[in-house]
Amino acid sequence: MKHIKTINKANLKNTAAKGGCGNCQASCQSACKTSCTVANQKCEKDA
Amino acid sequence: MSVNFMIHCFRLKGFNIVLDVHTGGVHIVDDITYEMLENISLPLDDDCKKEVIEKLKCKYTTDELEECFDEIVELYNDGILFSEDDYEKFADYAVASPVKAMCVHIAHDCNLRCKYCFASTGDFGEGRKLMDLDTGKAAIDFLLEKSGDRKNLELDFFGGEPLMNFDVVKEIVKYARSKEKEFGKTFRFTITTNGLLLSDDKIDFINKEMSNVVLSIDGRKEVNDRMRVRVDGSGSYDSIIDKYKALVSKRDKSKDYYVRGTYTKYNLDFSNDVIHLYECGFDQVSVEPVMGNEKESYAITEDDMDKIYEEYDILVDKLSEIKEKGGFCNFFHFMLDLNQGPCAIKRLRGCGSGNEYVAVTPDGDIYPCHQFVGIEKFKMGNLHEKTFNMDIKNMFAKTHIYAKDDCKVCWAKFYCSGGCNANNYIYEGDILKAHKLSCKIQRKRLECAILMNIKKELEKQL
């Protein structure tokens, strides 16, 4: 494409069907404690 | 724009960035495409094409505009631009989950009197006390019992100041480890400390047993010592900085740590604090906005927003400069993996407070999270009385983004996942009502985080 460059896999929808295993870290357990940022957690499915 | 599709367009540091909210797709576009996207609405049919070309032909040629339009249509057909919001059905699955994470208030006492402390200088308004070992063991038993099939259990020693009750911390860790094999679980411990009582022995124990350690410090000495003071009013910086350096230098690189600060109205130039911590030798840094009553002189208010936005932009430049010089500094709120972040279900459900995450006090009282401690209506039960209110748990299980009116129409919904329920309640009066000031800061941080990751991806492609 000449005008648009896509940067990533844009795969969020694919993760919905098989997601929700619950193995990833609770989001407030890292360094926040006064805010909430979920998207910076790692997926730990099957980990 | 209909909420069934959503894009977020923003310009930052010379990049025109377009986020397709529902796929997480990130695109960079040229000026002409950016303007077209600002002037376009679905359906992308002949009328739409005609209309937008008519509107922009005074600035660009028809050939260029047609080319752009066709590229937009191509991405739309590929499902990565103007993609539909078909997540709400998953929100129905937001039911009570196993409890797998716990904030253990090992000490409702503190040897600092930080002026912005949300825990009423350590005791959460409930009187100064330390957790005994029986309560600590009961907390472990509770987690083992309530965690169902979750293998990884997280336990954060929090306070007050946890090092004031470190012998009990060590015994709780020992007890939990003794149960891991029998129950098929792995405990991941975190400790959050102000550092004053750190000693070589404690550092060794923390580095051995804690998968994460959060070291509180606000940055530059004068900034830290203005807010983080002892009972006698003296600053804490000089007593902790070398201890933190020692802890980090001895720590296994595979384990996490953060030096974590709070910025207030007094240091809205907080990028200098991030850089100060980096220059002290720390490469994992979190510096966050203070949360507090607007009437407090240190509180961040609406009037500070422009300066805060500017400061995050400055921080982007400073972190980029570090990288260009071959250095590395990970800023917690710019962490984002555009390709492999958490699944959509996790993002829908939010932080998990009151559902998969709870806090327990020295008395064994259970609350949805550390920030709800002391608010009677949110008390969920007690470890010793073996009570646990499932109504409150079910209520928190439903605090997903589609239950929050402000969130479901926000482009940042899959990144902050509905924000902090406690801040929502404390500052807006309702766990489902987004705390506006937090949202503004969060959105700015996310734009910066997306930019930093675009740069990273582009470098990979070189």
Give tens-digit pLDDT for B97-145.
999 999 999 999 999 999 999 888 888 888 899 999 999 999 999 999 9
State the pLDDT at residue A30.
Answer: 62
Q: Is the pLDDT of residue B6 over 50?
A: yes
Quick one: pLDDT at residue A46? 64
What's the whole-model pTM score?
Answer: 0.95
Distance from CA of A10 to the nearest CA of B (A): 4
pLDDT of residue B330: 95
Q: Please tell me the predicted confidence (pLDDT) of residue B2.
A: 46
- Confidence (pLDDT) at A29: 61
Average pLDDT, chain B: 95
Q: Which amino acid is at B56?
A: L
Q: What is the mean pLDDT of residues B181-200?
A: 97
Strand ranges (E), B81-208: 101-108, 129-130, 152-159, 186-193
Chain B touched by A5 (CB under 8 Å): yes
CA distance B447 to chain A (A): 13
Which of B28, B344, B351 lies closest to A12 in CB terms? B344
Among B33, B335, B345, select the one facing A20 at the smallest CB separation. B345
* pLDDT the model gives residue A24: 84
pLDDT attached to residue A33: 67
List, as ranges, residues 7-46 from A with C-beta within 8 Å of B.
7-13, 15-16, 18-45
Distance (Å, whole) CA B377 – CA B367: 10
Confidence of residue B91 (pLDDT cuts 50, 70, 90): confident
Among B23, B357, B438, beta carbon nearest to A26: B357
What was the pLDDT predicted at A40?
A: 75
Residue from A18, A24, A40 whose CB has the most chain B CBs within 10 Å, to mutate: A40
What is the ipTM, given to two decimal places?
Answer: 0.91
- Give me the sign of the Cα torsion angle B340, B344, B346, B351: positive
For the stretch B244-285, pLDDT in tens is 999 999 999 999 999 999 999 999 999 999 999 999 999 999
Q: Which residue has the tokens 């840094």?
A: B285
Q: Is there a contact between A23 and B156 if contact means CB atoms under 8 Å apart?
A: no
pLDDT for A34 equals 63
Which of A1, A13, A29 should one mutate to test binding to chain B, selecting the residue with the greatest count of B CBs within 10 A? A29
B25-29 and B15-20 beta bridge pairing: antiparallel
In the predicted structure, residue B92 carries a pLDDT above the cut 80? no
Least confident of A9-13, A36-40, B38-42, B286-290: A36-40
Name the nearest CA neighbour of B67 among B80, B78, B52. B52
Whole-number pLDDT of residue A31 = 62
Q: In terms of pLDDT, which residue wins out, A24 or B72?
A: B72
Q: Between chains, do A10 and B103 touch, taking CB under 8 Å as contact?
A: no
| Structure-model confidence comparison of residues B229 and B94, the more confident one | B229
Average pLDDT over residues B24-36: 98
A1-34 per-position pLDDT tens digit = 999 999 998 889 988 887 888 888 886 766 666 6
pLDDT at B171: 98
Asked if A38's CB is within 8 angstroms of B347's CB, the reply is: yes
pLDDT at B421 over 90: yes
Give the C-alpha separation, B249 to B415, whole Å. 32
CA atoms of B409 and B389, how far apart (whole Å): 32
Model confidence at B1, pLDDT cuts 50, 70, 90, reads very low
- DSSP characters over B221-286: HHHHHHHSB-TTS-B-HHHHHHHHHHHHHHS-TTSEEEEEEEE-GGGS-THHHHHHHHHTT--EEE
Give the mean pLDDT of B384-390: 97
**CB pairs < 8 Å spanning A and B:** 218
Q: Tell if the CB–CB gap between A16 and B23 is shorter than 8 Å.
A: no
* B343 contacts A16? CB cut-off 8 A: yes
A20 to chain B: which residues are within 8 Å by CB?
Answer: 93, 343, 345-346, 349
**Residue B135: DSSP 8-state:** H
For residue B347, the chain A residues in CB contact (below 8 A) are 12, 38-39
Per-residue model confidence (pLDDT) at position B341:
85
Residue of B391, B387, B385, B416 lying closest to B401 (CA atoms): B416
Q: What average pLDDT does range B183-191 have in this prediction?
A: 96
Nearest partner of B205 among B149, B256, B161, B167, judged by Cα: B167
The minimal CB distance from A6 to the residues B25, B345, B357 is found for B25
Closest by Cβ to B350, choosing from A1, A34, A38: A38
| Average pLDDT score over residue span B227-239 | 97
Please report the pLDDT score of residue A45 as a whole number: 80
What are the tokens at A47? Answer: 């980990």
Strand B7-12 relative to strand B101-108, pairing: unpaired
Closest partner residue to A28 (CB to CB) among B25, B351, B453 is: B351
